Structure 1
Amino acid sequence: MAEAHAAVAFSFSVTHEGVNVAVNHEALWAVFYSGTASWKRKLHRIQNSFHNGIYPASPMSWLFALTIVLAFGLAGVDVSWGMIKYIQNHVPGINYANDTINFIISSVIFGTILWVAVINFIKFFLRILFNYQNWMYEVRGKKVSLKTKLWVVLVRVLSGRKPKLNSYQASLPKLPVPSVEGTMERYLLSVRPLLDDEKYNRMEKLANEFKEGLGNKLQRYLTLKSWWAANYVSDWWEEYVYLRGRAPIMVNSNFYGIDAVYVKPTDKPLARAGNVIYSMLKFRRLVDREELEPIILNKTVPLCSSQYERQFNTTRIPGTETDKLVQYHDSSHISVYHKGRYFKVYIRSKGRLLMPCEIEYMLQKIVDDDSEPAEGEKELAALTAGERVAWAKARTEYFSKGKNRASLDAIEKAAFCVSLDEDSQDFNLEKPKLLDAYGKAMLHGKGYDRWFDKSFTLVVCSNGRIGFNAEHSWADAPIMAHLWEYAISEDSLHLGGDAPVMGHMMELVFTEDRELGYTEDGHCKGTPEQTPPNPIRLEWDIPKPCQTVIDQQLQIAKQLISDVDLHLLVHTAFGKGFIKKCKVSPDAFLQIALQLAYFRSAGKFCLTYESSMTRLFREGRTETVRSCTIKSCDFVKSMAAGTQTGKELIAKFREAAEQHQQGYRDAMTGKGIDRHLFCLYVVSKYLGVGSPFLAEVLSEPWRLSTSQTPHQQTNRIDLVKYPKQICAGGGFGPVADDGYGVSYIVAGEDIIFFHISCKRSCPTTDATRFGAAICKAMADLRNLFESN
Structure 2
Amino acid sequence: MPVRYSSARAKGALFNHQDDLPSLPVPELAETLTKYKKSIQPYYKNGASDPEYLRYCSVIDDFAKTQGPYLQQKLQQFAKDKRNWLSYWWDNYAYLGYRDPVSPFSSYFFHHRELNSLIGKNQILKAACLSKKALEFMEAVESETLEPETIKGQPICMESIKWMFNNSRIPEPKQDTNLRYDPKENRFMVVISRNRFYKLEHHRNNKQVSVEELISKLDAIKTHSDSLPEVKSPIGILTSSNRDIWAENYQELMKNPINRQSLRDIQSASFVLCLDDDLPVTIEEKSRNAWHGNGSNRWFDKPVQFFVSKNGSSGFLGEHSKMDGTPTLRMNDWIVSELAKMSAPKHISTTAEVDELRFEVSPKIQAATDKAIKIFNETVNSLDIKVWQYHGLGKSQIKLLKASPDAFIQMLIQLAYYKYTGQVRPTYESASTRKYFGGRTEAWRSVTNESLEFVSTWEDAFASKEEKIAAFRNAISSHVHGISAASNGHGVDRHLFGLSQLCDGEKHAIFTDPIFSYSSYWYLSTSQLSSEQFNGYGWSPVVPEGLGLAYMVNKEWLHVNVTVFKNNQMGLEADKIAYYLGVAANELKEVLTSETIKSKL
Structure 2 gaps, min length 5: 1-5, 596-601
Residue of structure 1 aligned with 2:68, choices 211, 215, 228:
215
Question: What per-residue deviation string (whole Å, max 9, x for no partner) do you get for residues 684-728 of structure 1?
Answer: 2xx3332332244246411011001144xxxxxxxxxxxxx5422
Match of 1:168 in 2: 17
Take 2:303 and 2:352, find their aligned partners in 1: how far apart are those partners?
25
Shift of 1:401: 3.3
Residue identity matched to 1:728 = N
**1:51-130 alignment to 2 at 5 Å?**
51=11
What is the deviation of 1:260? 1.6
Using the TM superposition, give the Cα deviation of residue 677 of structure 1 relative to its aligned residue in structure 2, in angstroms: 1.1
The 5 A counterparts of 1:765-776 are 765-776=572-583
- How far apart are residue 249 of structure 1 and its match? 1.2
Q: Does 1:756 align with 2:562?
A: yes
Distance apart, 1:382 and its partner CA:
1.6
Give, in angstroms, the shift of residue 235 of structure 1.
2.9
Which amino acid is the alignment partner of residue 14 of structure 2? L
Could you list the per-position Cα deviations for residues 27-56 of structure 1 after superposition, in whole angstroms to 9, with x for gaps in the alignment?
xxxxxxxxxxxxxxxxxx9xx95746xxxx
- Aligned residue for 2:3? none
Equivalent residue of 2:489, what SS? Answer: coil
Corresponding residue number in structure 1 for 2:208: 353
What secondary structure is seen at the aligned counterpart in 1 of 2:403? coil
| Residues 1:179 and 2:28 aligned together | yes
Distance 1:445 1:745 in 2: 22
- Asked if the contact 1:598–1:605 (Cα under 8 Å) also holds between the matched residues in 2, the reply is yes
User: Structure 1 residues 187 and 525 mapped into 2: Cα distance closer, same or farther (>3 Å)?
Assistant: farther
Q: Which whole-Å CA distance do the structure 2 matches of 1:320 and 1:726 have between them?
A: 39
Question: Residue type matched to 1:230 in 2?
Answer: R
Asked if 2 retains the 8 angstrom alpha-carbon contact of 1:588 and 1:660, the reply is: yes
Distance, in Å, in 1 between the alignment partners of 2:568 and 2:126 is: 39
Residues 341, 372 of structure 1: 8 Å contact kept:
no
Pairwise CA distance, 1:437: 1.3
C-alpha contact 2:337 2:533 (8 A) present in aligned 1: no
**C-alpha displacement of 1:363:** 0.6
Q: Distance in 1 between matches of 2:218 and 2:71?
A: 56
CA distance in 2 between partners of 1:373 and 1:286 (Å): 40
SS at 1:273's partner residue?
helix
1-side partners of 2:21 and 2:145: how far apart?
19
The match for 2:336 is 488
Q: Greater CA radius of gyration, 1 or 2?
A: 1
Question: What is the aligned counterpart of 2:510 among 693, 707, 720?
Answer: 693
**One-letter code aligned to 1:709:** L
CA offsets 1:638-670 (integer angstroms, 9 cap, x no match): 110132222222122111100000101100111
Q: How does 1:186-197 map to 2 (within 5 A)?
A: 186-196=35-45, 197=50
The aligned counterpart of 1:784 is 591
Equivalent in 134, 137, 145 of residue 291 of structure 1: 145
Q: Matched residue of 2:554: which SS?
A: strand
For residues 145-189 of structure 1, what are the alpha-carbon distances to aligned partners after superposition, in whole Å with 9 as ceiling and x for unaligned?
Answer: xxxxxxxxxxxxxxxxxxx11100000110110112111110111
- Please give the secondary structure, in 2, of the residue aligned with 1:641: coil
Q: Which of 469, 472, 475 is 2:317 aligned to?
A: 469
Indicate the residue corresponding to 2:122 in structure 1.
268
Q: CA deviation at 1:787?
A: 2.5
Matches of 1:192 and 1:664, distance apart in 2:
18
- CA distance, structure 2, for counterparts of residue 683 and residue 400 of structure 1: 39
Match of 2:194 in 1: 339
Does the CA-based 8 Å contact 1:267-1:464 persist in structure 2?
yes
1:368 aligns with 2:223: yes
- Aligned match of 2:163: 310
Whether the 8 Å contact between 1:607 and 1:628 is mirrored in structure 2 is yes
CA separation of 1:306 and 1:533: change in aligned 2, threshold 3 A: farther
C-alpha distance 229-525 of structure 1, shift in aligned 2 (>3 A):
farther
Q: Match of 1:205?
A: 58
Alpha-carbon offset, residue 594 of structure 1: 0.6
Alignment partner of 1:282: what SS?
A: helix
Residues 233, 675 of structure 1: 8 Å contact kept: yes
Residue 202 (structure 1) shift: 2.9
What is the match of residue 437 of structure 2?
618
Q: Does 1:394 align with 2:249?
A: yes
Residue identity opposite 2:429 in structure 1: E
The SS at the match of 1:225 is helix
**Cα pair 2:524 2:548 within 8 Å, conserved:** yes
**Which one of the candidate residues 663, 672, 676 is aligned to 2:482?**
663
Specify whether residues 611 and 675 from structure 1 end up closer, same or farther in structure 2 by C-alpha distance, changes over 3 A only: same
User: In the superposition, relative to structure 1, how do residues 532 and 210 fare at CA in structure 2: closer, same or farther (>3 Å)?
Assistant: farther
Distance 1:453 1:50, change over 3 A: closer
* Cα offset, 1:360, TM superposition: 0.9
**CA gap 1:296/1:662 in 2 versus in 1, 3 angstroms:** same
**Aligned match of 1:235 in 88, 91, 98?**
88
1:786–1:411 distance in 2 versus 1, CA, 3 Å: same
Deviation at 1:208, TM superposition (A): 1.6
* Alpha-carbon shift at residue 218 of structure 1 (Å): 1.6
- Alignment match, 1:586: 405
Supply the distance in 2 between the matched residues of 1:169 and 1:596 (Cα, whole angstroms).
Answer: 40
Letter in 2 for 1:485: D
User: 3-state SS of the aligned residue for 1:488?
Assistant: helix
Identity of aligned residues (%): 29
Matched to 2:475, the amino acid is A
The Cα shift of 1:467 comes to 0.8
Distance, in Å, in 2 between the alignment partners of 1:478 and 1:624 is 16
Query: SS state of the match for residue 437, structure 2?
Result: coil
The one-letter code of the counterpart of 2:298 is: R
Letter in 1 for 2:582: C
SS of alignment partner, residue 109 of structure 2? strand
TM-align CA RMSD: 1.9
CA contact (8 A) 1:478 1:710 kept: no
Distance 1:526 1:364, change over 3 A: same
The TM-score with structure 1 as length reference comes to 0.71
Structure 2 residue aligned with 1:324: 177
Contact 1:638 1:649 in 2 (8 A): yes
Aligned partner (choices 521, 524, 546) of residue 739 of structure 1: 546
Contact kept? 1:310, 1:474, Cα under 8 Å: yes
Q: Tell me: CA distance 1:525–1:643, structure 2 relative to 1, closer, same or farther (3 Å).
A: farther
Say which SS state the counterpart of residue 102 (structure 2) adopts. Answer: coil
- Post-superposition offset of 1:532: 8.5
Instruction: Please say if residues 254 and 470 of structure 1, whose CA atoms lie closer than 8 Å, have aligned partners that are also in contact.
Output: yes
Instruction: Compute the displacement of 1:679 (Å).
Output: 1.4
- Say yes or no: does 1:383 pair with 2:238: yes
CA distance in 2, matches of 1:325, 1:192: 40
Query: For residue 465 of structure 2, what is the amino acid of its counterpart?
Result: G
- Check the 8 A contact 1:346/1:533 in 2, yes or no: no
Question: Which whole-Å deviations, capped at 9, do the CAs of 1:399-439 have from their partners, x for residues lacking one?
Answer: 2332111111111111111110001223xxxxxxx111111
Residues 428 and 445 in structure 2, CA contact (< 8 A), matched pair in contact too:
yes
Question: Secondary structure of 1:344's partner?
Answer: strand
CA distance in 1, matches of 2:585, 2:120: 35
* Counterpart residue number, 1:628: 447
2: distance between equivalents of 1:368 and 1:554?
Answer: 25
Three-state SS of the structure 1 residue aligned to 2:69 is: helix
Aligned partner (choices 288, 292, 304) of residue 456 of structure 1: 304
8 A Cα contact 2:196 2:231, kept in partner: no
Distance 1:486 1:349 in 2: 25
Query: 1:91: which partner in 2?
Result: none
How many residues are paired up?
A: 577
* Alpha-carbon distance in 2 for matches of 1:337, 1:184: 50
